């Protein structure tokens, strides 16, 4: 799993430089592994902040567009120290595609080599999932 997380971290760090964050200057790159394939994404910020989209959600959308359905691992790259974890909305989206959130590793990195790691279940315990719907 360590090799996979290192690979995803590299993809996320490379994506970070393509982020569009002209207002906040908080650039984010993300990489997800879904069904054995890697997909990247960046945050896209617009003047009407609520319409902005996070890197993690863009990476998941890229995976879904290529028929990815099962999330295996996630990397998020920021320039923050310590590296930033996914926001709450992204945690919820990630949980939607995790068969077992306790087995999905999430890594946060920055370009200074700092690293933090969790499981998705640690980041979003007792997530609301499709099985909770009547």
Q: Which of 7, 56, 96, 114 is catalytic?
A: 56
d(C-alpha 128, C-alpha 2), whole Å: 28
Q: Verify whether residue 114 is a known catalytic residue.
A: no
d(C-alpha 41, C-alpha 91), whole Å: 15
d(C-alpha 33, C-alpha 51), whole Å: 25
d(C-alpha 60, C-alpha 56), whole Å: 6
Question: Catalytic residue numbers?
Answer: 56
């Amino acid at each position: 799993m360590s090799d996979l997380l290192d690979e995803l971290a590299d993809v996320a760090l490379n994506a970070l430089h393509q982020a569009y964050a002209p207002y906040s200057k908080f650039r984010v790159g993300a990489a997800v592994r879904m069904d054995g394939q890697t997909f990247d994404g960046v945050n896209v910020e617009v003047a009407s902040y609520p319409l902005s989209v996070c890197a993690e959600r863009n990476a998941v959308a890229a995976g879904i567009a290529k028929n990815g359905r099962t999330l295996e691992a996630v990397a998020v790259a920021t320039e923050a120290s310590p590296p930033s974890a996914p926001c709450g909305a992204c945690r919820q989206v990630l949980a939607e595609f995790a068969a077992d959130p306790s087995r999905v590793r999430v890594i946060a990195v920055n370009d200074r080599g700092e690293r933090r790691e969790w499981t998705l279940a640690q980041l979003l315990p007792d997530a609301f999932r499709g099985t909770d719907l009547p």
